[in-house]
Structure 1
């Protein structure tokens, strides 16, 4: 079904839309600001679960009484567990956590070098910490209340994922690992730089073959299967 401007305008006027806000590093010094910002969103928007999205795409009926809101916390920083998830828990918000699985796999002593080599931004106040990334136990704990998905294995951009080995490392193994650790489905993936589905046929097919149902981009949360 093609949705034109009139349909979009009507949906916005009726509150049938989804606001997705992307965050990256959220250190302890940012906790008061983050809490205030998320609390403001929680007053005007309804938290959205994966079941809500699946129901909408299956029926075409928006299942909530307000516009939806999804906070997304990227990379797999340790402060996902110490700052972002607890604030979302307190506010009753379901967040999405796209994590770089090889960052989590990386020994703590090597995490800064891995971050520097893979476009993972760090903040000064955390550089002296004994660990920068989540542990897999923390990933499992976050997944009890939130949605954890891969942000590829290595924080890779779509054009660098071409060979079967690339696809396995960046798309297939990360999904399998997250599902094994959390006991939950990892329904979505997202590339470095947020490339949308529908622009690279080879990689699009690899995403579908890996079993993903959603793809997050800079401007969309796409239902792809």
Structure 2
């Protein structure tokens, strides 16, 4: 597609904006809500079915650009802050969950976070629980989209063996299906590595049943 065609599509609102959030503690609840309210004035919500229809038919469901608010890691405040803000504004929230963070005993979650590049904020230190519970993950999936962000917040460079691939790629899909009753539709590596440059890892993502992969610059429909 030519640059001119890309510019015409952008000017006509034919694009998808992804806004990434990580930790959304209680002190940010008002700011998150206001930001989503402002975005809702210009963007329409996008659910999983909308993406499936677009990639199957090429038809976009609305006349305005779509927006995906994405809340990473699986913090408990995803259920307490992020999801209520999405509900209030009509957005579908997208929640990439590190399943091992959720599975970690609450008393060990701070240590897990510090050793796996999961950002913490002072106001939450000492909280009884930092991560979502499996039940909360299941509740999120009833209204929003829950996807896999590896098990332990792993980057592609840290996953070498077949055991690594099973733990970080396949196992999160199995666990999320158990918690939510549905297949996890998408996968995200730490650091946002795109699909298409690492054949062995790419094959594992497809074999695990994921349909989409999020990266720093793309949302890819997998073959």
Q: TM-score scaled to structure 2, two decimals?
A: 0.98
Q: CA deviation at 1:163?
A: 1.3
Aligned-partner Cα distance in 2 for 1:5–1:184: 39
Q: Which residue of 2 aligns with 1:206?
A: 204
Cα deviation 1:33-60 (Å, max 9, x = unaligned): 1111010111110000111111111111
Aligned-partner Cα distance in 2 for 1:191–1:127: 26
Count of residue pairs the alignment pairs up: 223
The secondary structure found in structure 2 opposite 1:22 is strand
Gaps of 5+ in 1: none
Q: Which residue of 2 aligns with 1:185?
A: 183
RMSD: 0.9
Q: Within 5 Å, which residues of 2 pair with 1:55-204?
A: 55-204=53-202
Aligned-partner Cα distance in 2 for 1:51–1:141: 18
Q: CA deviation at 1:4?
A: 2.8
Q: CA deviation at 1:180?
A: 1.6
Aligned-partner Cα distance in 2 for 1:4–1:37: 33
